[in-house]
Structure 1
Amino acid sequence: MSINARSHIRIARPSRDLAAAERFWREGLGLSVVWRTQGDHAPGEHDLLMLGWPEADWHLELVHEAARPVEPRPTEEDLLVVYLDGPVPEDLVAALERHGGKRVLSPNPYWNEWGVTIEDPDGYRLVLCTRAWSNS
């Protein structure tokens, strides 16, 4: 099989607290748990949480290893952008904030004009964009 537009993408990030991250991404944004495992199978294994929408061609993988934690080091430009093609529902922003997110301004005025930026519990940024996007 070759790489193409339907090739699945995994976005992997370290997490300080998988339970807090799960609340934000699952209960706040509405992603589903695709897979999870506890790192107690063998020495050196980590806890793993994969979240996504069932039919999406991508998922978010969050990892934590208690014995050797990797501190997340997000910047203001580490963004996961979801194009809504319409207004950002205030109840969605409120749900993200209730579940550990923090609404922030972007240093890039484009995202402030065309969306809402929410920082997740690890400091990574989710942008809910009012615009549509297509690569074609």
Structure 2
Amino acid sequence: MPVDGHRHIRIARPSRDLEAAERFWVAGLGLSVVYRAEGGTEPGEHDLLMLGWPEASWHLELVHEAARPVTPRPTEEDLLVVYLDEPVPDELVARLEEHGGKRVPSPNPYWNEWGVTVEDPDGYRLVLCRRGWSNA
């Protein structure tokens, strides 16, 4: 099977609190719940939350295992960048903050000039970039 630009991408990471993460990503950013599964309390069983836009060729997978929780260890360079190709709406940033996000400065001046950086409830960073992007 070839690996090319038509393949779906999954971005997976742990979460301390899937409900808080869902509020941020769904009510804040506007992603949809693509899939949800509840695990159990035994080691290896985990709760799963998949988020994305129905037409996107990627999704964000968040997992929490109650029996052996993995503490998220994001760095200031762990970014999910959304290229808006227009100014970042103040209402969107406010909505993200209302739903558990925290606006933070980036150590990279590029992101401060071209976008807004918001930490999600687990400390991972979302950058809303006013520039456009294409791999073509």
- Normalising by the smaller structure, the TM-score range is over 0.9
Distance in 2 between residues matched to 1:37 and 1:62, nearest whole Å: 11
Runs of 4+ off more than 4 Å: none
| Match in the other structure for 1:24 | 24
Following superposition, the deviation at residue 41 of structure 1 comes to 8.9
Q: Name which of structure 1's ranges 70-79 and 39-48 shifts more when overlaid on structure 2.
A: 39-48
Cα deviation 1:87-133 (Å, max 9, x = unaligned) = 00010000000000000000000000000000000000000000000
SS at match of 1:113: helix
1:19 aligned partner, one-letter code: E
Give the corresponding residue for 2:131. Answer: 131
CA deviation after TM superposition for structure 1 residue 42, in Å: 6.7
User: What SS is found at the alignment partner of 2:28?
Assistant: helix
Aligned CA-pair RMSD: 1.1
Equivalenced residues, count: 136
| Corresponding position of 2:107 | 107
Structure 2, unaligned runs of 5 or more: none
1:123–1:41 distance in 2 versus 1, CA, 3 Å: closer
Asked if 1:33 is matched to 2:71, the reply is: no
1:94 alignment partner in structure 2 = 94
Ranges in structure 1 where 5+ consecutive residues have no aligned partner: none
Provide the rounded CA distance (Å) in 2 between the counterparts of 1:2 and 1:45: 32
Looking at structure 2, the residues matched to 49 and 73 of structure 1 have their Cα atoms a distance apart, in angstroms, of 18
Check whether the contact 2:42–2:67 (CA below 8 A) recurs between aligned residues. Answer: no
Give the alignment's TM-score, normalised by structure 1.
Answer: 0.97
Percent identity, please. 80
TM-score (norm 2): 0.97
In structure 1, how many angstroms separate the alpha carbons of the residues matched to 2:43 and 2:121? Answer: 27
